Amino acid sequence: MTLLEHDRAADLIARRGVEDLAAADAAWLKSHLSECPECAIYVAAFEQTGQLLRSYTITATSALVTRTQSLVRVRAEQLRERQTRMVLVAVSFCIGVLFSTASAWLWWKAGDSVVRWLGLPESIVAPGVLLFWLLPAIAVAVLMVVVPQTVLTNPLTPSLAREREEEIR
């Protein structure tokens, strides 16, 4: 047997208790275990370890449970805030695009005379208008996504956590 076959067998042994194996993989593992005593011993030890772990009772202290619940609540609040923030980013982006479109339309209508008056070439004006048309909306959206707002700045969050801890006690 090659080391690659033993590695494949160990991987399949670990996966078969957690997920369904493909029929070909299950058949290969069965034939490999019948031929390889080393892997058969590994299976027995693996299953015995699993039984020992399942038989051991793990209890959490009330402080651990309270702390975990508090952290879960804080994380849920962070996720809600992030979702709200994404909606605000989308709305801000749309408003920015609307105002940019309106200003670009005005520039296109009135800007021709300004371009002629200043003597600017058309090859510079068209890309410049397009760039400045989208730039404000993109800049605002990027800033709103990049600049973090932590949930802990919300004065309601610590009071909710303390209130819940008192209920549990």
- Condensed to tens digits (0 to 9), the pLDDT of residues 110-122 reads 777 777 788 877 7
Residue that wins the pLDDT comparison between 165 and 107: 107
* Same-domain pairing of 76 and 157: yes
- Quote the domain boundaries for residue 51: 3-55
Q: Round to whole Å and give the CA distance between 61 and 69.
A: 12
Mean pLDDT of 14-25: 86
Question: Does residue 71 share a domain with residue 111?
Answer: yes
Which of 78, 74, 58 lies closest to 66 in space, CA to CA? 74
pTM: 0.38
Mention every residue, 6+ apart, whose C-beta is less than 8 A from residue 65.
168
152 and 69 together in one domain: yes
- Under 8 Å between Cβ of 78 and 151: yes
- Write down which residue in 55, 71, 95 finishes a domain: 55
Closest CA to 85 of 152, 141, 158: 141
The answer on 83 and 41 residing in a single domain is: no
Instruction: Flag whether pLDDT at 157 surpasses 80.
Output: no
CA–chain centroid gap for 74, Å, is: 17
Average pLDDT, the chain: 80
* 41 & 69 share domain: no
Both 75 and 112 in a single domain? Answer: yes
The band of 154, judged by pLDDT with boundaries at 50, 70 and 90, is: low
* Predicted pLDDT of residue 159: 61
Q: What is the pLDDT of residue 59?
A: 86
Report the alpha-carbon distance of residue 77 to residue 150 in Å, rounded.
10
What is the mean predicted confidence (pLDDT) over 58-73?
90
Kindly report the length of the chain.
169
27 pLDDT tier (thresholds 50, 70, 90): very high
CA 1 – CA 12 distance, rounded (Å): 16
What the block records as the tokens of 113 is: 């005379």
How many domains is the chain partitioned into structurally?
2
Confidence of residue 152 (pLDDT cuts 50, 70, 90): very low
Judge whether residue 168 has pLDDT over 80.
no
The verdict on 77 and 154 lying in the same domain is yes
Is 112 found in the same domain as 43? no
Are 96 and 131 found together in one domain?
yes
Which among 101, 159, 154, 162 is positioned nearest to 132, based on CA atoms?
A: 101
Give the residue-averaged pLDDT of 123-134. 73
